Structure 1
Amino acid sequence: MSTPVRTRFAPSPTGYLHIGGARTALFAWAYARHHGGKFVLRIEDTDVERSTPEAVHVIIEGMKWLGLEHDEGPFYQMQRMERYKEVLGEMLAAGTAYHCYTQPDELEVIREAQRARGEKPRYDGRWRPEAGKTLPTAPAGVQPVVRFKNPADGVVAWDDLVKGRIEIANAELDDLVIARADGTPTYNFCVVVDDWDMGITQVIRGDDHVNNTPRQINILKALGAPVPQYAHLSMILGDDGLKLSKRRNSVAVTDFDAAGYLPEAFVNYLARLGWSHGDDEIFSREQFVEWFDLDHITPSAAQFNTEKLRWLNAHYIKLTEPAVLAADTAKRLAARGVNLAGGPDLAAVVALYRERVATLVELADSVEPYYLQVQPSAELAAQHLTEAAQAALLVLAGKLATAAWDKAALSAVIKECCMELGLKMPQLAIPLRVKLLGVAQTPAIDAVLEVLGREAVLARLK
């Protein structure tokens, strides 16, 4: 019987949930869901100076927005210190780890000498216990670090589920510090104990962790623990072809929520960053889980394309019920201080625009004038609200005062007015739009009049 799949997402709470982290979480979540396994959330908060509760909150809220619910956790590394110290003690007793009294300034001298000889700078193993080797006397009053006794020869190898076979000579790896002088365990050691204790079967993470993997495999083997499969995802490049950067790009998941992207569209887009299912571009979360595997992840860098995301978001907005869009629009307008009371039915207004916008912010921008006393810009007024246009609008207002208030009747009134005054439709419709909403382009003018309502239309025309 095969081992049940268990994946994990293990962010450090030193900032927001960024695009790369969100994609890692999505792939780990989807892999667990596809195989009927468990998805574990672990918070790697051992960087005490930079980790904050606010960052934890932002990460968890970002995952909620994406719909990536975890089955177990969140587990916090800082709450597992006793367990790490227990394993450290076992390794020291077994001889797979040892105390090292070399001080930072001594290490720098060693490395400088190695550089001068053209060698790779590294710890020289002076405190590493070996058969027949006499160790130096431990200096008084010095707290030692704990180092892992890395195998001296052979290779550490794994079949990466994205990158293929990777082999590293053990001679290339020095003896890693696994606990600092104050007794706190280091990142690579905590990760190993966590993956072991939590029964993680597949470690799906960014390829910035590839260099950690051989060290972690060796520690797992020293503990007699099962070694999970590893899948290292390539980096994501920005629109400019450069690595995503906080300085140049919107990279936080919360930024995309604020910018008006639907989580369904964002998840669909993230799924296609480095993974594919034939030529399929648009698919539901359920379809993605059904299709997802690690065989179709490309090992080359994926490129983020904002225009593609906007196109996908526009598609999802078109499919979303007006009532759902109206609820989101109401929140966005409330945040701007726009009072919807006494205005037209919001869902009806939203329905006019949902096929014309690419983001929920654009939707709120389009809808906002229906709830404000708008004043067209001086430029628009000068261009479209001429004396002749104003006179024509007064004639139209008189007819609208008694017209039946539905699209067909309103369309007939506008056409009748154009015939009477010898105007082409744009000569009346564009000034009407500018007068009512302060813009020259809107959906069909009869539909706009219908949702605004007679009272609001006549008040604005006067």
Structure 2
Amino acid sequence: MKVVTRFAPSPTGKLHIGGARTALFNFLFAKYHSGDFLVRIENTDKNRSTIENVNSIIDSLNWLNLNPSQKIIFQTENFQRHQSVAFELLDKGFAYKCYLTENELEKLRIESRKTGIPIRSPYRNKNSKKKHDNDFVIRLKMPSSGETTINDKVQGKVKINNQILDDMVLLRKDKTPTYMLASVVDDYIMGISHIIRGDDHFNNAFRQIQIIKYLNWPIPEYTHIPLIHGQDGAKLSKRHGAKNLIEYKEMGFDPIALKNYLLLLGYSFNSEKIYNFNEDIFKFELKKINKSPSRFDEIKLINVNSNFLKKADLSYLVTKIVKDKNLKNKKLITNLSYFLPELVKRYKLLNEIESDLNWMSDEFIINKEENPIELKNKNNLKKISEVYQVLSTCDWELNNIKTSINKYIKDNNLMMKDVAPLIRLATTGKFNTPDIFNILYILGKENCLNRLKNCL
């Protein structure tokens, strides 16, 4: 059997951490089994679905490099098929027309809550008729006896009594399909072999499987994964710092690091290694999915990202920065390549490169009006002036720069800590940078002298 998985987000919102993890699990399982990973946008909720959310979901998946094997499918494209299946179930006696008004339905809901018995419409009897034959919904006729068993790869073997299943709506009065019907029909059309989704859908599986059985369709393998919680044990929400994926991108998180952290949320694997899931062979096994909810920790996510930056291939990081920051200047890109190995040791997020790109550029110069207080002190300015004179006569080689400054420090009974921070501040505008001698050498003599002179 060919493995075919799907990720089916609803564009009633943007893609968040939980959905991204579900997409990753589906992607990894299909990839390891040389199968297909498909994406379906479940846009049947016309009132709440937006194009903005659709684009955001697609952009998020592209950023994570979780690209489907085939063209993205939109659920609304299959409306006619959804409707035909509903009427097929009706014709075969597995569904019925229900004419309940909203007031009548609400009375049944109140009664159901009191008794614990699911709603059974009086129109369940197929002989029930009404004059206005268009004012109806189509409900699935659930089995009224026996049990339904699902062998879930995470939840285990679970049985329920069919008497607790309500006759769910398949088609609304306007003849648009409900999620419960559309999802099943689309999975069948797409040939989905394995359904991997959050365990908040587990109850739906016992209802949706009845459609599959009535139509003699192949039953997919079910894997319902526990939800992600916040540090307080409650379901993850915005108050836990949860953001949509585009926000994490804008903050400077790397997609490779983020995917490794997502895998940590509910999957047992060697977390010491950083995997590139699009290139590495990763043996993703459903039996290694944890049965308990995981807890999202943004501090740990930042640590994973920081660890990734320290281990990442330099060419990958340079290429990413050049693309993200739209760098064109060859000298700046050369400087970036030289300093980045040292800089990433200090970074938690790659966006921190922004302030360092400033001083790496030949155009950088400190605004006198915004000079830090250290560069307004007369004694400090005197030292900068003297360093300027020393370096102006220096033959611009790394060892010569070091020798010249060390001689100046010795001749004036100073220490390196009295001089180096001032040179660093005057040439970069920062207190914390890579080795100052390397900076002076790489930036070049004319560039450095101009920056020093500008402070005077």
TM-based fold match above 0.5:
yes
Q: Which moved more, 1:105-114 or 1:149-158?
A: 105-114
What do the CA deviations read for 1:43-90 (whole angstroms, capped 9, x no partner)? 111011122222222212211111112112311111111111221221
| 2:424 aligned counterpart, secondary structure | helix
Check if 1:124 corresponds to 2:116: no
Other-structure match for 2:418: 427
The two structures, once aligned, show a CA RMSD in angstroms of 2.5
The 5 Å alignment of 1:23-422 reads 23-115=21-113, 118-120=114-116, 122-129=118-125, 135-140=127-132, 143-239=135-231, 241-278=233-270, 280-285=272-277, 289-330=281-322, 345-371=335-361, 372-375=364-367, 381-383=372-374, 386-422=377-413
CA contact (8 A) 1:180 1:186 kept: yes
CA gap of 1:94–1:136, structure 2 versus 1, over 3 A, is closer
CA gap of 1:159–1:327, structure 2 versus 1, over 3 A, is same
CA gap of 1:333–1:226, structure 2 versus 1, over 3 A, is closer
Q: Which of these residues, 441, 447, 456, is aligned with residue 447 of structure 2?
A: 456
Q: Which moved more, 1:234-243 or 1:142-151?
A: 234-243
Output the TM-score relative to the length of structure 2: 0.91
Once the 2 structures are TM-superposed, how far is the Cα of residue 424 of structure 1 from its aligned partner?
A: 0.9
CA gap of 1:126–1:251, structure 2 versus 1, over 3 A, is same
Letter aligned with residue 419 of structure 1: K
Hey, what's the Cα distance between the residues in 2 that align with 1:288 and 1:323? 18
CA gap of 1:172–1:29, structure 2 versus 1, over 3 A, is same
| 1:291 aligned counterpart, secondary structure | coil
Hey, what's the Cα distance between the residues in 1 that align with 2:232 and 2:399? 49
CA contact (8 A) 1:42 1:73 kept: no
Hey, what's the Cα distance between the residues in 2 that align with 1:330 and 1:313? 19
CA contact (8 A) 2:194 2:223 kept: yes
Once the 2 structures are TM-superposed, how far is the Cα of residue 376 of structure 1 from its aligned partner?
A: 7.9
| 2:44 aligned counterpart, secondary structure | coil
What do the CA deviations read for 1:182-232 (whole angstroms, capped 9, x no partner)? 111110101111112222111000111111110011111011111111111
Hey, what's the Cα distance between the residues in 1 that align with 2:9 and 2:295? 22
Hey, what's the Cα distance between the residues in 1 that align with 2:312 and 2:281? 21
CA gap of 1:387–1:339, structure 2 versus 1, over 3 A, is farther
| 1:391 aligned counterpart, secondary structure | helix
Output the TM-score relative to the length of structure 1: 0.90
| 2:150 aligned counterpart, secondary structure | strand
CA gap of 1:96–1:33, structure 2 versus 1, over 3 A, is same
Letter aligned with residue 153 of structure 1: S
Check if 1:445 corresponds to 2:446: no
Once the 2 structures are TM-superposed, how far is the Cα of residue 404 of structure 1 from its aligned partner?
A: 3.0
Q: Which moved more, 1:56-65 or 1:89-98?
A: 56-65
Hey, what's the Cα distance between the residues in 2 that align with 1:5 and 1:141? 43
Once the 2 structures are TM-superposed, how far is the Cα of residue 42 of structure 1 from its aligned partner?
A: 1.0
Hey, what's the Cα distance between the residues in 2 that align with 1:5 and 1:102? 42
CA gap of 1:396–1:313, structure 2 versus 1, over 3 A, is same
CA gap of 1:152–1:257, structure 2 versus 1, over 3 A, is same
Hey, what's the Cα distance between the residues in 1 that align with 2:63 and 2:270? 27
Hey, what's the Cα distance between the residues in 2 that align with 1:190 and 1:376? 65
CA gap of 1:280–1:187, structure 2 versus 1, over 3 A, is same
Hey, what's the Cα distance between the residues in 2 that align with 1:28 and 1:434? 50
Gaps of 5+ in 1: none
CA contact (8 A) 1:272 1:281 kept: no
| 1:295 aligned counterpart, secondary structure | helix
What do the CA deviations read for 1:399-444 (whole angstroms, capped 9, x no partner)? 2123233333222222111111111111100111122222222111
Hey, what's the Cα distance between the residues in 1 that align with 2:116 and 2:98? 20
Hey, what's the Cα distance between the residues in 2 that align with 1:430 and 1:395? 15
Other-structure match for 2:427: 436
Hey, what's the Cα distance between the residues in 1 that align with 2:84 and 2:269? 45
CA contact (8 A) 2:335 2:360 kept: no
Once the 2 structures are TM-superposed, how far is the Cα of residue 309 of structure 1 from its aligned partner?
A: 2.1
Hey, what's the Cα distance between the residues in 1 that align with 2:86 and 2:186? 13
Gaps of 5+ in 2: none
CA contact (8 A) 2:202 2:224 kept: yes
CA contact (8 A) 1:376 1:437 kept: no
CA contact (8 A) 2:154 2:291 kept: yes
Hey, what's the Cα distance between the residues in 2 that align with 1:279 and 1:456? 45
What do the CA deviations read for 1:325-359 (whole angstroms, capped 9, x no partner)? 3444456556xxx9969867333343441222111
Q: Which moved more, 1:282-291 or 1:52-61?
A: 282-291
CA contact (8 A) 1:376 1:439 kept: no
| 1:127 aligned counterpart, secondary structure | helix
Once the 2 structures are TM-superposed, how far is the Cα of residue 155 of structure 1 from its aligned partner?
A: 1.3
